[in-house]
């Protein structure tokens, strides 16, 4: 009350039973409490760090059990004097959440599985989880290196599983080799991608999360965005609506992504009432920018301004909220072949059935044009119902079941892309990667150092004069990698393998 001029009430914390979940659009009381708590905790952390240094020791924070109030991505974290942050690695997203923390000398990942009886019991093979965890983390480490790795739990349990000990030895050797070859420098990113939501930088790599690396039914269709980006050949940052309102869109941003369900912190809620926000983003895209929307992007909980998606004109897609049922909605013919879907495999029988079935005739309120049979081939996760193209100039790439799952739209000199959902898979990571390159008019940059097999990814290290190809599966994979001079190199990779070549 002395600092902020008002007193917090119990309801500010109870929040109608939501308890200020990160999914809630943050309110003033919530933001003020975060600032207040952070100031208190950080002051004490600084004292503890100074005490550690006076004793000749380093000060390390474990991200997960002890980070409340420290806010690693909030301005000023670098002033605490911490030497390092260590955290549990569950997948690529949580790896980046640790690796990207600024203001410390180094970061460390605590890999899975923990040496506990729930995994280390007779008849189980912990090496399976160990390699799966490593594959998920490795693609992110190549993009944002962590300096150290480790495990946790009871060593006496792990010692009873020699195969697991050998697996950890292999993983540790590979981790060292990556650092020796790259000098701890991140792989080159081709594009600059910004995730736009209410939290911005302060919740970097924490969007769409309920539990650490454990997406659920309501979240997995969006969490896949982060997991795909975590190991993709792009540079990722997180920006807030306040950033855009105060400073516009930074000149070096190639693509903005906004996604999630309506009325959440990740789509924005009532911030879309502000005409300055929509004007700024429309002008940026019209001038050559790229906007990718996932799920219910730019949505307002109440139907306003004739649209549910406030940037429906940019995306080319909106969602029927039972307010405009009397307005016909015409679906243009689906375009099955496109740059974005070039790597999508469609079952030939499904393709034939889709072509033979044709399209629905016009009906009151729908206008017609929807495909009778699904084309398929893409996992969009939980469906977003009643999406439709805003005009017949929109290019539909998937519109199964009478609603839009994937569409692209030209908007002035820029482009919009709509995706209804994006659970993580190698195929969907490739789909998103192609969408980002297409939306930003960078199709000509895509081929060099691309892999023909989505299960294999390529990371380029110009300063080290090398590139690597990784197999992200527990099965042997083959792929061809296109080089900048037009030549192609073939790779046959064992399960979980990594191969290095000179540039």
**Active site members:** 65
Helix or strand (DSSP H, E) at 109: strand 106-110
**How far separated are the first and last CA of the chain, in Å rounded?**
61
Paired tokens of 143: 């993009």
d(CA 377, CA 398): 9
Q: Give the pairing type, strands 456-461 and 466-471.
A: antiparallel
d(CA 228, CA 159): 35
Q: Give the pairing type, strands 299-304 and 307-309.
A: antiparallel
Paired tokens of 87: 């955290």
Paired tokens of 364: 């009151």
CA 346, 351, 353, 357 torsion-angle sign: positive
d(CA 230, CA 137): 9
ω into residue 410 within 30 of 0, thus cis? no
d(CA 481, CA 223): 28
d(CA 30, CA 19): 10
* Bridge partners for 149 per DSSP: 109
d(CA 109, CA 255): 29
């Amino acid at each position: 009350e002395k600092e902020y001029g008002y007193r917090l009430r119990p309801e500010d914390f109870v929040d109608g039973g939501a308890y200020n979940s990160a999914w809630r659009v943050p309110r003033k009381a919530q933001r003020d409490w975060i600032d207040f708590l952070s100031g208190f905790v950080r002051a004490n952390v600084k004292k503890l760090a100074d005490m550690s240094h006076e004793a000749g020791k380093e000060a390390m924070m474990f991200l997960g059990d002890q980070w409340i109030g420290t806010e690693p991505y909030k301005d000023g974290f670098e002033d605490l004097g911490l030497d390092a942050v260590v955290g549990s690695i569950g997948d690529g997203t949580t790896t980046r959440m640790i690796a990207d923390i600024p203001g410390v000398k180094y970061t460390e990942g605590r890999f899975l599985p923990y040496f506990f009886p729930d995994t280390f019991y007779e008849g189980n093979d912990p090496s399976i989880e160990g390699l799966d965890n490593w594959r998920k983390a490795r693609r992110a480490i190549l993009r944002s290196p962590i300096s150290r790795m480790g495990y946790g739990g009871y060593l006496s349990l792990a010692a009873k599983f020699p195969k697991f000990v050998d697996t950890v030895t292999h993983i540790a050797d590979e981790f060292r080799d990556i650092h020796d070859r790259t000098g701890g420098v991140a792989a080159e990113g081709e594009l600059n991608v910004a995730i736009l939501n209410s939290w911005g930088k302060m919740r970097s790599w924490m969007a769409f999360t309920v539990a650490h690396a454990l997406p659920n039914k309501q979240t997995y269709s969006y969490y896949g965005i982060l997991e795909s980006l975590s190991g993709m050949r792009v540079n990722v940052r997180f920006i807030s609506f306040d950033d855009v309102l105060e400073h516009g869109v930074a000149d070096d941003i190639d693509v903005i992504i906004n996604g999630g369900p309506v009325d959440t912190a990740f789509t924005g809620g009532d911030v879309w009432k502000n005409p300055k926000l929509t004007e700024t983003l429309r002008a940026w895209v019209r001038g050559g920018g790229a906007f990718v929307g996932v799920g219910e992007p730019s949505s307002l909980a109440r139907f306003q301004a004739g649209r549910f998606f406030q940037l429906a004109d940019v995306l080319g897609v909106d969602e029927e909220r039972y307010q405009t049922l009397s307005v016909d909605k015409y679906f243009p013919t689906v375009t099955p072949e496109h740059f974005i879907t070039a790597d999508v495999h469609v079952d030939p029988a499904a393709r034939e059935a889709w072509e033979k079935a044709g399209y629905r005739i016009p009906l009151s309120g729908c206008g017609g044009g929807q495909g009778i049979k699904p084309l398929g081939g893409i996992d969009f996760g939980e469906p977003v119902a009643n999406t439709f193209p805003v005009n017949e100039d929109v290019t539909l790439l998937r519109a199964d079941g009478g609603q839009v799952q994937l569409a692209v739209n030209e908007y002035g000199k820029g482009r919009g892309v709509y995706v209804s959902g994006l659970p993580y898979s190698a195929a969907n990571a490739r789909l998103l990667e192609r969408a980002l390159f297409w939306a930003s008019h960078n199709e000509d940059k895509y081929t060099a150092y691309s892999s023909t097999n989505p299960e294999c990814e390529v990371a380029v290290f110009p300063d080290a004069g090398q590139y690597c190809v990784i197999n992200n599966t527990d099965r042997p994979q083959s792929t061809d990698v296109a080089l900048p001079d037009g030549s192609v190199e073939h790779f046959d990779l064992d399960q979980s393998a990594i191969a290095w070549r000179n540039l």
